[in-house]
Structure 1
Amino acid sequence: MLIGVPKEIKNHEYRIGMVPASVRELVQNGHDVIVEKDGGMGIGFSDQDYIAVGASIEAEAATIFAKADMIVKVKEPQAVERAMLREGQILFTYLHLAPDLPQTVDLVASKAVCIAYETVTDTHGGLPLLAPMSEVAGRMAIQAGAQTLEKSNQGSGMLLGGVPGVAPAKVVVIGGGMVGNNAAQMAVGLGADVTILDRNIDVLRSLNIQFGNTAKVIYSTADALESEVLAADLVIGAVLIPGAAAPKLVTKEHIKKMKAGSAIVDVAIDQGGCFETSHATTHQDPTYVVDEVVHYCVANMPGAVARTSTFALNNATLPYIIKLANQGYQAALQNDKGLLNGLNVIAGQLTCESVAIAHDMQFVAPETALANCV
């Protein structure tokens, strides 16, 4: 199989779909890999590094999209990239379709085979390709939040951990999954006053054992959420419903009542965000203010630590890339139920039910859609 790795073109996105070590594994499995010129420069890899492990370099993304059997990316394809997809071509990347109707319509029209990292599952129902970026984003959320609270960024001017004689900032984390857990770890480590909200009793028990007296763990009722958010200096939105649009848990009314200079970091923004006042921002222009509350809603947060993120992501995606290349998409999807769960679009059909619900579009079960393509 010919695998294509284009350069990412989203704002301040320096990650790349495959590092040279991953390319070497594909080449050793008998496949060909083409990488766009300077695609790895953002994380310190030259074209020569890719050539040394057996890849070929192409000057333009258009050539890669025209030639490759499978496109491996990091972020969702932008409009110019979607226009280059073709029928039967495999696209393996993050998609986040639920809040993105234009992308959904374009991918369906392309008749490509679109497999989303974020909906691939493992044998335990976990999300193995979302997990590494969730870990990165959770940890980055506290770094971003700490900076957002600085006075020069229109925040209240609070130091997360305080100093002797001065109380620390109150950090509220909504959601105790992978993102929330990692955010809480960082906030606790910096000495903040941390509260984690979640509705899963098993998750709460696990968090209680993990954090002990270093963080408060509270069941997330509407009353508890409102009380904690209004008292917070920094709120981290870490809610995830796999494949679906994030629920808007923090309302405009909550934001109006929050303390002036407080901050929110909406890590769920890729799925539409869990604050009613959220809209996606970029690393170039990361924040805006609503009702004196500073909003940080960067849609590709891990791109800021591109080298760490790329390696972490490649560690997770490489076995699936090899499986798709060695077996072809039909056999790979038939033989791996978790990978089949990652199938969002195929042959002009939408196969992710939560995305279909979000856009009021027709849904075809992935098994049925795949059977029609064999």
Structure 2
Amino acid sequence: MEIGVPKETKDQEFRVGLSPSSVRGLCDSGHMVFVETDAGLGAGFTNEDYLQAGAKIVAEAKDAWNRDMVVKVKEPLPPEFPLIQKGQILFTYLHLAAARPLTEHLIQAGVTAIAYETVELPNHSLPLLTPMSIIAGRLSVQFGARYLERQQGGRGVLLGGVPGVSPGRVVILGGGVVGTEAAKMAVGLGAQVQILDINLERLAYLETLFGSRVELLYSNAAQIERVVPDADLLIGAVLVPGRKAPTLVSREFVAKMRSGSVIVDVAVDQGGCIETLHPTSHTHPTYVEAGVVHYGVPNMPGAVPWTATQALNNSTFPYVLKLANQGLKALDADPSLAKGLNVADHKLVHPAVREVFADLV
């Protein structure tokens, strides 16, 4: 099979779909990999690295897209829409619930679109989302701590505090992978941490993980209204696979937060769970509304591409190899991979995405 790896076009997205080691694995299995010039440079992989792995370097994006399968990191942006071809396999993060124009184009194009974020194991875990969720969760506190600095527009709060001065308060909405990793970082810094979740079993598990170091609360509107105003850093970490994230924090609640507090919504690529937050970019990561600093970069792991590319490839490569070896028959052989199928034969396939775009079904 011919596999294309185009350079990512999202603002300051330095990750790359396949690392040189993944390319070598594909080439050793008899496949041909076409990598756009400098596609991996931002992640620390040179053209020479890919050549040594067995890839062919192509000068333009269209030469990488003109293949049986295209492996990316982020969803195609409008300038890439004309490059998507009927009958090819597109394997990448898609987050269609928050991207109607992309959804419509994928249906029209007749591509087979498989989304990393909806590949699901029998235990309901999301193996291709998890590595980036771990990174995004950890970065949410790292970035939040930075934007709490006065020079960045924040309150001037040190999350860990110092002897004689209270530490900052971190409120995390959602106790899944993102929320757990955010809590680990915040606890490590010495912050006061609260996690809200609607899953009592998950809260019980988190108690075994954190003990009394984290306050674990059942999430409802009254609880959210109570804790949000006191947050120095509010982290949105809500995920409903394939669907738009629910809005948990209203504009009214945000207005009650102290001036210079910070919101980081990791769920922004699924529409976000905070009403006042909209997508930003690594170039312009924040804005201020109601006196609160909002951070809404949807590709947060792109800030650490060397780590993120390798972590992603560790999870995606076995599935890429299955698709390369078996084509679409891999979907029949692997039910977990089949759950990643979002669009096929000019139709929406994934049940959750079909619910979001009922008018396109």
One-letter code aligned to 1:107: L
Alignment of 1:293-308 (within 5 A): 293-308=292-307
Cα distance between partner residues in 1 of 2:205 and 2:7: 40
One-letter code aligned to 1:333: L
Report the CA distance between 1:122 and its aligned residue: 1.2
Moved more, 313-322 or 43-52: 43-52
Report the CA distance between 1:359 and its aligned residue: 2.6
One-letter code aligned to 1:305: V
Match of 1:322 in 2: 321
Cα distance between partner residues in 1 of 2:360 and 2:284: 36
One-letter code aligned to 1:241: V
Match of 2:200 in 1: 201
One-letter code aligned to 1:190: L
Mapped pair 1:16 → 2:16:
yes
Match of 1:309 in 2: 308
SS state of the match for residue 12, structure 2? coil
One-letter code aligned to 2:333: N
Match of 2:215 in 1: 216
Alignment of 1:242-253 (within 5 A): 242-253=241-252
Alignment of 1:1-374 (within 5 A): 1-66=1-66, 68-329=67-328, 331-363=329-361
Q: Is the 8 A contact 1:131 1:178 kept in 2?
A: yes
Report the CA distance between 1:360 and its aligned residue: 2.9
One-letter code aligned to 1:348: H
Render the CA deviation track for 1:67-105: whole Å, top value 9, x for unaligned.
x10000000011121211111100000000001111111
One-letter code aligned to 1:2: E
Cα distance between partner residues in 2 of 1:63 and 1:2: 11
SS state of the match for residue 212, structure 1? helix
Cα distance between partner residues in 2 of 1:43 and 1:230: 39
SS state of the match for residue 361, structure 1? helix
The gaps in structure 2 that reach 5 residues or longer are: none
Cα distance between partner residues in 2 of 1:258 and 1:359: 34
Cα distance between partner residues in 1 of 2:207 and 2:262: 25
One-letter code aligned to 1:303: G
Cα distance between partner residues in 2 of 1:48 and 1:292: 48
Report the CA distance between 1:335 and its aligned residue: 1.1
Q: Is the 8 A contact 1:139 1:182 kept in 2?
A: yes
Percent sequence identity is 53
Report the CA distance between 1:361 and its aligned residue: 2.8
Report the CA distance between 1:123 and its aligned residue: 2.3
Q: Is the 8 A contact 1:99 1:358 kept in 2?
A: no
Q: Is the 8 A contact 1:120 1:338 kept in 2?
A: yes
Render the CA deviation track for 1:194-215: whole Å, top value 9, x for unaligned.
0000010110000011000111
SS state of the match for residue 281, structure 1? coil
CA RMSD of aligned residues (A): 0.8
Cα distance between partner residues in 2 of 1:148 and 1:353: 38
Cα distance between partner residues in 2 of 1:362 and 1:102: 12
One-letter code aligned to 2:356: A
SS state of the match for residue 64, structure 2? helix
Moved more, 1-10 or 346-355: 346-355
One-letter code aligned to 1:346: A
Cα distance between partner residues in 2 of 1:285 and 1:349: 36
Report the CA distance between 1:254 and its aligned residue: 0.3
Render the CA deviation track for 1:34-86: whole Å, top value 9, x for unaligned.
100111110111111111111000000111212x1000000001112121111
Cα distance between partner residues in 1 of 2:281 and 2:289: 17
TM-score by length of 2: 0.99
TM-score by length of 1: 0.95
One-letter code aligned to 2:18: M
Cα distance between partner residues in 1 of 2:344 and 2:357: 17
Q: What count of residue pairs does the alignment treat as equivalent? A: 361
The gaps in structure 1 that reach 5 residues or longer are: 364-374
Render the CA deviation track for 1:123-178: whole Å, top value 9, x for unaligned.
21110000000000000000110011111121111000011110000000000000
One-letter code aligned to 1:52: Q
